[in-house]
Amino acid sequence: MSTPKKPGFGTLAVHAGWEPEEKTGAVMPPIYMTSTYVQDAPGQPREGFEYSRTQNITRFALQDALATLEGGACGFTFTSGMAAITTLLLTLKPGDRIVCGDDLYGGTYRLFTKVGERFGLRFDFVDTSDPMTFENLPEDTTLLYLETPSNPLLKLVPLELAIAAGHRVGADVCVDNTFATPALQQPLTLGADFIIHSTTKYIAGHSDVVGGALIAREESRKEDLWFHQNSAGTVNSPFDAFLTLRGLRTLALRMDRHCQNALQVAKALEAHPKVTKVIYPGLPSHPQHELASTQMSAGGGMVCFEIDGGADEAATVVQSLKFFALAESLGGVESLVELPAPMTHASIPAETRAALGITDGLVRLSVGIEDGDDLVADLEQALAQI
Active site residue 53: yes
Active site residue 353: no
Please tell me which residue in 96, 102, 103, 176 is annotated as part of the active site: 176
Answer yes or no: do 203 and 268 share one domain.
no
Answer yes or no: do 69 and 209 share one domain.
yes
Answer yes or no: do 257 and 244 share one domain.
no
Please tell me which residue in 155, 201, 217, 353 is annotated as part of the active site: 201
Please tell me which residue in 59, 102, 103, 105 is annotated as part of the active site: 105
Range of the domain at 26: 9-248
Active site residue 6: no
Answer yes or no: do 200 and 217 share one domain.
yes
Answer yes or no: do 142 and 202 share one domain.
yes
Active site residue 124: no
Please tell me which residue in 37, 53, 110, 222 is annotated as part of the active site: 53
**What is the C-alpha separation between 119 and 147, in angstroms, rounded?**
23
Answer yes or no: do 16 and 137 share one domain.
yes
Answer yes or no: do 16 and 154 share one domain.
yes
Domain final position from 248, 270, 294: 248
Answer yes or no: do 38 and 147 share one domain.
yes
Domain final position from 232, 248, 264: 248
Answer yes or no: do 232 and 274 share one domain.
no
Q: What is the pLDDT along the chain (386 residues), one digit of tens a residue?
A: 566 788 999 999 999 999 888 788 888 889 999 999 999 999 999 889 999 999 999 999 999 999 999 999 999 999 999 999 999 999 999 999 999 999 999 899 999 999 999 999 999 999 999 999 999 999 999 999 999 999 999 999 999 999 999 999 999 999 999 999 999 999 999 999 999 999 999 999 999 999 999 999 999 999 999 999 999 999 999 999 999 999 999 999 999 999 999 999 999 999 999 999 999 999 999 999 999 999 999 999 999 999 988 889 999 999 999 999 999 999 999 999 999 989 988 888 899 898 888 899 999 999 999 999 999 999 999 999 99
Domain count, the chain: 2
* CATH number of the domain within which 259 lies: 3.90.1150.10
Answer yes or no: do 152 and 15 share one domain.
yes
Answer yes or no: do 308 and 199 share one domain.
no
* CATH number of the domain within which 101 lies: 3.40.640.10
